[in-house]
Each structure stands twice: as structure tokens, then as C-alpha cells.
Chain A
Amino acid sequence: VASRRLRLGTRGWAMLFVAPAVAFFLLVNILPMLYTLFLSLHDWNQLSPQKSFIFLENYIALFSDPAFLRSLFNTFVYALITVPFSLSLSLLVALLLNSGIRAVGMFRTIYFLPVITSIVATGYIWKWLYDPTFGPINQGLALFGWQFPFLKNTATALPSIALMSVWKTLGFNVVIFLASLQGIPDYVYEAARIDGTSRWRTFWRLTLPLLNPTVVFLSVMGVMNALKVFGEIFVMAEDIPYDSTTSVVYEIVRTSFTSNRMGYGAAMTMVLFLLIGGITLFQMKVLSRKFQY
């Protein structure tokens, strides 16, 4: 009897401690997700009390909606610029910091600062840097009679926002890469040195494969964040963004809360959710390699 009471007691205590987290997760994640799915099958203008069931009509309409398709395209372009660029640049910085230079801690802190700064603050500073008249970059170019439009041109706006994003996420990637680099045992490199392997070959055949889990982690996180981009666009793009700078989340917010079309916005949300889920699974399957020290 005593052991049974103890068993139930342990379980009860465990539940008690887990309950707040589970309740929070249920209420804040799972329930809204199910409600979004429910809404996506309805035609509901938030202004009216009527929600009419239309099954998949919202989804069908989405795939012939030029504004949504354009935002989907822009979001992928944004991810394609930011993720590879940010990963390779941060790996380069991490390798430099790992090569035995002094004051690594200080550099790590400096690179990490943008990560913890609010996107609103960094967004406004970059907007000023990019300003065609008052911005320091264009002030410099003006000496030669040049002017670069950055955010003020439909073709250059999205890459300019992506560049800021690369700068902002760099520190996070550097810190993670640095930690993994420091986790690679020295004897591996020693063996390579004894074999007379060139540094270039050591990097490609040893370091990079050993960093694979980190690369997978960072690219999955990077793609997920890039596909959900909103703050960067909201702060840096024009008040009414160009067609070339909208993102899916921007489109969701505008449709749901400016046009009040909650059902249609919910369908966009579900599509984005499925896309992110699918791409993440694909990345984990394709990028993951098994290895042993």
C-alpha cells in the first residue's frame, strides 16, 4: 500500500509541476491553432457576427490571389538571400574568432549585440543609414555624385532589408558556430596535421562535416524565421510596402486586421504553417549526415 501511495503521489506531483506549462501550451498554442483551422474553413468578416462555412473555398481563392502569391514569392526570395548569406558569413567570423585571436569574448559580445536589440530600434537606424538624402552611406556616395536608392526602389528594397537581417542574426549564428567549433576535439586536427593535410582540405573534409548538426540547426531556425518575417518589413518598408517587399505574415496581418477578413487570413496562416512544417522536415532529412568522432 505504501509503495502504491508513493507511486500515485509521485505522479500527482509531477502533474502538478507540469500542469502550468501544459495549460499554457494548450491555451496559447494548440487552441488558437485549432481555432485558426476552424476559421480558415469559414467566410468571416470580423465586422459581422455571421461565420458561414465554405469548406476549402478560402484555400482555393488563395492560389489565384496575386497579392498572396507575390508575398509568398517575396518571402522565399528573402529566405534565399538571408539564410545562406548569414550562415556562410557567420561561419567565417566564427572560424576567425576560433583561430586563437585575443579578446574572443569581447568580439563575441560585439557580434551578439544586434541580436538582443529590438527590431524596431535597429530597423529605424538602418532606415536612416539607407536614407537617400540624409543617410551616411549616401552622404559618402554624394561626394562622387552618386546616389543609391536602397529602400526607395522596388528592386533594391527587399535585398536592403535582407542585408539588415543578415547583420542582425549574424551574432546568434556566430556564437552557436563558435561553441560547436570549440567542441571539436583537438586530436582530430592533430591527426590531420600529422597526415600533412592542407588547411583548406581540413576545413572541407573535417571541420564542416563535424559542424553538420549545427549547420542543420541554424539553417532550420534561419529558414523558419525568414519565412515568418514581419517586423523587418513592418518597420523598414514604406508605410504601404511595394508589391516587391510584402511578406506572407505582413499579408496575413493586413488581410485579417485591416480588411477584417479573418477567415481568409486564417487560411493564409494555415498555408504558411504547412509550408514551414514541410520545409523543416525536408531540411532535416536532406541536410542531416551521420558521423562519429
Chain B
Amino acid sequence: MTRGWRLEIALAGMFAIGFAACRDPSEDSPDTEPGGDVVVTYWRHHHGPELDALAVLIERFEAENPGIKIDLRAYPYPVYTTKVVASISAGKGPDLINIHNSWMYGYMKSGLIEPVPEEVMSAEELERDFFPLLGSFRRHSAYYAVPIGAGSLGLLYNKALFRKAGLDPDRPPRTWSELADAAQALTVRDRHGRLLQAGASLGMPDGQGWNYFVDVVLPQAGADLLAADGRSVAWDSPEGRRGLEWYTGFITRHRVNSPLFPADFEAFRLGLSAMFVTGNWDVGKLRSLAPDLELGIAPLPASDEGVRATFGSAWGNAVTRSASSSVRDAAWKLVRFLTSYESMKFWWSRTGEVPMRRQVLEDEEFLAEAALLEPFLEQMPYADASLKKDEGVYMRAVFGVIRDVVLEGDDPGRALHAGAGKINAMLARE
């Protein structure tokens, strides 16, 4: 080997070491602090009100549990999952994470997170005390995450526009037929037939539209969502078609909305739409962006046969496989503390999320305080989120189904069949 080559190799080595030294030392999270405290690393996505609430709760927890320290870190939502997944697969991830119920399947299946130990909270206890939406955190009869708060979809309506159209602002539509009738009464067009005011921002998949369609409209129309073996969807059926026709009918038949009209939240906020469907998470934002809007909130209308349904959404707390055994116990202790009824009520006061424990429905004091959210709370006993496995693929296919009917004028049965095909390919693979 010549001297020249030796130099080249030395240089290459130097750069390799240099790059290796570039890793972020703050990523290393020691299990114990010098003082002997157990440190639980807890990752969440960044959401201001939640972090403020957590800071208070964690302070209380640490005071009650000397010897445990919580290292809370928040990451922007768009990078959160990528960061969690990459770090846990690299074996140096957080001990505790917050995780949405729609992502649970992949996390549970791959063993990225641990089931809730019996001695922390047994399955019987969880099922007795929590709303059934908790089922979206279950796999093979074990639960993998415990939520603090939750949300459900409700019907938001503009009372002033109701009054203007001669409708009773204190009697929102309660059934499918009433919803369609009210929407038609609330629609305003110009002389060219162009929509000036949407009676209801319904019929498109955007926003919560696709969740409303899949987890509310389809079951209300009598369609089953998933085949028993979980390997295909069951809504490629006459009932499914009925649901799709009803939902897209707001645009194609009743013409109370248009794909060219502003999106639901925007249109409602500006007073250009009289009704739309969204979750309690949008209420605070709406009230701050449009303080003068006379907001009415109602449970989602039942089908004409009286079937009630709503879509539920919740963020659970899950312990990851990165947690060592001593940290794991401390982490579950924190989860138990955060998901106590007392913590849930505090959480509600800061974040507007509905408590996940059933006892809230008997708490008169709380119900009086939370009057605005009552329609969402009222629906919690039947709020549900069906299993979608790879939610991204499922969602895209449903967007395709609704768009094919609304934008392309496709036959609803054919569109439904095509969408089911895309989802079934994914379900069979997952």
C-alpha cells in the first residue's frame, strides 16, 4: 500500500467518524437519572392545549410518585408518526406514546406497543368503565392503549340561517328525511342556478365526510362494514348502495351542495352553509374564528328506521416495546393516573375532549357545565370507529367511490364495487 492510499483511507475513515458523531445526543433517553429516579420518555404530537393540560397533570403525578420523572416531548403532527415508527424500529424510541385509534392495527400487529397488563387495568374493568369506542384499541381480546378523552361527530347548524328560512332553530333535523328537507329549505341560488348558500355541506368525502359516510351512513342504511374474517368489506351490497345514493344525493339529487362550493368548514364558518357534520374538536376553532355565528349542535340524525350511529375518534396512551421493565411499570402508573376520572374532567376543561369513562353521564354537575358538548356526549354510548387496517388505502378508496358518483356521474353500484375491490386487496394483504 502506498503512502498516498493510506492517506485516502485515513481521510475516508475520518469522515465516516465525523458523520457518525453528528447524531443528536438529545435522542438518547436514559432509563434512570443520576439521582436514581426512573425516567419515562413520553412522546406526543404537538397540540398546545393538550400540552398545557399535561404539564399540570404530570406535575401532580410526579408529586404523588417520587422516584418517577416524566420526560415529555412533543413533535409536529406531520412528522410525528414517522419519527415514532423510525425510532422504535431502531430500538431507541420513547417508552410511552399517544396514538390515534385509526393507526392502532399496524402498531398492535407488529408488536410495536404492549398490551395493557391485567394488573394495571383488566379487560373487564376497561369494558365496564369506558365507552365502547375503546374497542378500537383492542386486538384478540387484549387492549393496547387507554385514552383520556374522545370525540364524536355531530351535526352543526347555523341558527340564524334556520330562522331566516322559516325553520325552528331549536328543532334541528332528527332523521334522514328531516335532514334532506331542511337542507332543501336552506339552499339559496342565483338566477343562473349557481349556489349562493348550501343547505348542507354534505355529499363530498372531504373533511369528516368520508368518516360520516363509512361509519355512520352505511350502518344506518343497514350495511355491514367488514366481513367476519376481516379480509373484505361487506358494504358492496344493496344496503351499501342505498347509503351511497342517500349521501351523494345531497349533491346529485337535492342539489343543496356542489363540488365547486367552498369546503364544509370554510363554508359554514363564513355563513355560506347552513349545516355540516364534524367532531367536537372543531367547535373551539369555529367559535374563535366566527364568534358571531349562532352555533347550534345536535346529535347526528337517525335513519328513517331509527338507527342511530356516530363515528368516534380517540387518542390512546400506549407503552412501547422500547420501555425496559422498570420503566414499563412507571409508564403504566402514569397511564392509570392520566385516565382517572378526575384527570379526564380536567382534560376536558382544557382541551374540550369528552371524558372516555361512562360515569360522566351520571355526573350532573359536569353535564351542566358542559352543556354545549352534550350532543357529542349523548352519542358516546354508541360511537364507533370500524377497523380499516391501512387507513390511508381505505380512505383513498372511499374518496374515489364518492367522487366517481358525484364528479364522474358513475353508477353508485359500480363505484362501490370498484372501491371495495381496492380495499379488499389491501385487507387481504394486511
Instruction: Give me the interface of A with B, judged by CB distance under 8 Å.
Output: 8, 11-12, 15-16, 19-20, 23, 27, 45-49, 66-67, 132-134, 142, 145, 147, 149, 152-154, 238-240, 242-243, 254, 257-260
Contact between B82 and A142, CB atoms less than 8 A apart = no
- Which of these binds chain A: B104-112, B166-174, B224-232, B343-351? B104-112
Q: What would 6 more interface pairs be, CB under 8 Å, given A23-B15, A23-B19, A132-B261?
A: A23-B12, A153-B259, A154-B407, A257-B82, A260-B85, A260-B106
Interface status of B24 (Cβ within 8 A of chain A): no
The answer to the question of B269 belonging to the interface, with a C-beta cut-off of 8 Å to chain A, is no
Q: How far is the CB of A231 from chain B (nearest CB, A)?
A: 15
Contact of A145 among B7, B194, B206, B407 (CB under 8 A): B194
* Pairwise interchain contact B11-A145, C-beta atoms closer than 8 A: no
With A46-B86, A47-B89, A149-B260 given, is the CB distance from A258 to B3 under 8 Å? no
Kindly provide the distance from the CB of A32 to the nearest chain B CB, expressed in whole angstroms: 13
Report if B178 contacts A (CB, 8 A): no
- In the assembled complex, how far is the CB of residue B143 from the closest CB belonging to chain A, in whole angstroms? 19
| B177-202 interface (Cβ within 8 A of A) | 192, 194
* 20 CB-based A-B contacts, threshold 8 Å: A8-B3, A12-B4, A15-B4, A23-B12, A45-B106, A46-B86, A49-B89, A133-B262, A134-B262, A142-B194, A149-B259, A153-B259, A153-B407, A154-B407, A154-B408, A239-B206, A240-B205, A243-B400, A254-B392, A258-B392
Of listed A11, A152, A239, A260, residue having the most chain B CB within 10 A: A260
Distance of A48 from chain B, by nearest CB (Å): 4
Quick check: B260 and A147 within 8 Å, CB to CB? yes
A132 partner residues in chain B, CB cutoff 8 A: 260-261
Cβ contacts under 8 Å, B19 to chain A: 23, 27
- Minimum distance in angstroms from A89 CB to a CB of chain B: 29
List A contacts of B109 (CB < 8 A): 47
| Residue contact A242 to B403, C-beta cutoff 8 Å | yes
A-B contact count (CB 8 A): 78
In the complex, which residues of chain A have a beta carbon less than 8 angstroms from the beta carbon of B7? Answer: 12, 15
Residue of A with least CB distance to B191: A145
Closest B residue to A50 by CB, please name it.
B110
Q: Is B61 an interface residue (CB 8 A)?
A: no
Using CB atoms, name the residue of chain B closest to A150: B260
Picked from A20, A154, A238, A260, the residue with its CB within 8 Å of the CB of B206 is A238
Q: Is the CB of A240 within 8 A of B395?
A: yes
Interface residues of B in 271-308 (CB under 8 A from A): none
Tell me if A152 and B260 are in contact (CB < 8 A): yes
B11 & A19 in contact (Cβ 8 Å cutoff): yes
B408 touching A48 by the CB < 8 A rule?
no
Whether B15 contacts A19 by the Cβ 8 Å rule is yes
Q: Which of B106, B112, B261 contacts A133 (CB 8 A)?
A: B261
Q: Is the CB of B260 within 8 A of A19?
A: no
